[in-house]
Amino acid sequence: MKKILLFIIAVTGLISLVSCQGDSELEKGLLISKYYNSSASSANYGNNVLELYNDSNKSIQLSNYSIKIYKPSETIESRKITLSGSLSSKGFFVIANTLATEADIVSKADLLTEDLVYRGSDTIALYYNNTIIDVLGSIGFDIQYGKNVSLLRRTDALEAKDNFDKLDYISYLPNQYSYLKGFNYEIKTLDDMLIGPMLEDRYKALPYEDPNKIGFGAGGVTKVVSLSSIADGDTATFNTESYSASTRYFYINTPEVQGNMNAEPWGYVASKYNKTHLLNDAGSKEIYVQSIKGNQLTETFGRHLGLVWINGYLSNFLVVREGLSDVAVNISSNDLEMSYKGITYVSFIIFAKDYAQSKGWGVHGYPNDKNGEISPDWNFNNNSVKTTNPEWEPHIVVPWLRISLRSE
């Protein structure tokens, strides 16, 4: 009798172990792969879409899962969507609002529900039974992460997380519904994002200045004929086909060097990066300045404002990628019209800032991040400049020196 009892206990334990292993595989398999919000009005949810993806090697029973939606700063869900059926290995499951009208949404939706109601700061959590498996936002907090945007998961970040990591997603323009049920978008990996945008010919065909609104940009480019001087990390004087004047790099604001403003940590590093890594040997490089559509061409001090492209790559982005600048952005409709492969320049720049911050690089390092980089040009003991020629090398090689570049 004792032997029989031990056998039953052993078998029961084995069954329990297999069951737990199965649960573990289910938890790791399903994740939120795409998120869409393109509503200008908070009362219109018809274009809300969520896509789930089964990255495991086995079919998943969706009845174990649910979606809960939390309003900003609230800890009790406002909506719950229960799932059913099964999802095959490497399969997609699209959830849409019953108000959906877009053809790509209607034709690809696996579930239509009136409960898919969210704004850009609502938390959306994928649950396995009572356990959060994957999440957008943070329950109990008000995080603006997804207004008027398509968030497509990086294909090298297909791992469910119970804490939201915005770097796992790429912010595409709104209404990118053709990408549903696939990974056929062109910019899809961390490496893709860290290369940044490239200057497309369509912008070379546009005028630099708006012919109908003198003094404002049309989003086109003007070619740099020669470089006169470099002031710091975000200012240089160019002689272009349209003007000869000091140019302030748009969207960014590097720390100051000594001069009209008080010097700041990382100011001389940013200046060095611009001088010795970006604009060095300028005569051998193809350089353009791009105006910002709908924005004034000059600022209060008479400097021109623009995006500086070197050999087809965006300098403003590269400076931010190294952690050498904060990002000064007040996103407008004009910004949505300046993009590369469906991603706005602004989204690339913000991603670069978030990445550098996650690494504790540059201005995101010490003292803001106690474990981050310490500025080599600054003496924190007496809060003064340590050297105007700091020893420093970029974390990431400039893209025109890479052996393998993204193909056009």
Q: Is residue 192 part of a domain?
A: no
Residues of the chain whose pLDDT is less than 50? 1-26, 41-42, 404-408
Q: What is the pLDDT of residue 77?
A: 97
Same domain, 339 and 363: yes
Alpha carbon distances (Å) from 327 to 52, 274, 276, 355, 370: 32, 17, 22, 13, 21
Q: What CATH number is given to the structural domain containing 273? A: 2.40.50.90
Same domain, 119 and 208: no
Question: Which residues span the domain enclosing 284?
Answer: 201-401
Give the residue from 160, 185, 210 where a domain finishes: 185
Overall number of domains in the chain? 2
Q: What is the pLDDT of residue 7?
A: 43
Q: What is the pLDDT of residue 28?
A: 64
Same domain, 176 and 232: no
pLDDT tens-digit readout, 196-232: 999 999 999 999 999 999 999 999 999 999 999 999 9
Query: What is the spatial distance between Cα 404 and Cα 408, in angstroms, rounded to a whole number?
Result: 12
Q: What is the pLDDT of residue 407?
A: 44
Q: Is residue 14 part of a domain?
A: no
Q: What CATH number is given to the structural domain containing 85? A: 2.60.40.1260
Give the residue from 185, 220, 251 where a domain finishes: 185
Same domain, 168 and 215: no
Same domain, 165 and 259: no
Within 291-396, strands assigned E span: 304-310, 313-314, 326-327, 339-340, 343-344, 378-379, 384-385
pLDDT tens-digit readout, 54-68: 999 999 999 999 999
- Where does residue 231 rank: exposed (0-12), middle (13-18), buried (19+ CB within 10 A)? middle
Same domain, 144 and 280: no
Same domain, 247 and 327: yes
Same domain, 179 and 140: yes
Same domain, 105 and 208: no
Q: Is residue 1 part of a domain?
A: no
Same domain, 221 and 164: no
Q: What is the pLDDT of residue 168?
A: 98
Q: What is the pLDDT of residue 306?
A: 96
Q: What is the pLDDT of residue 356?
A: 98
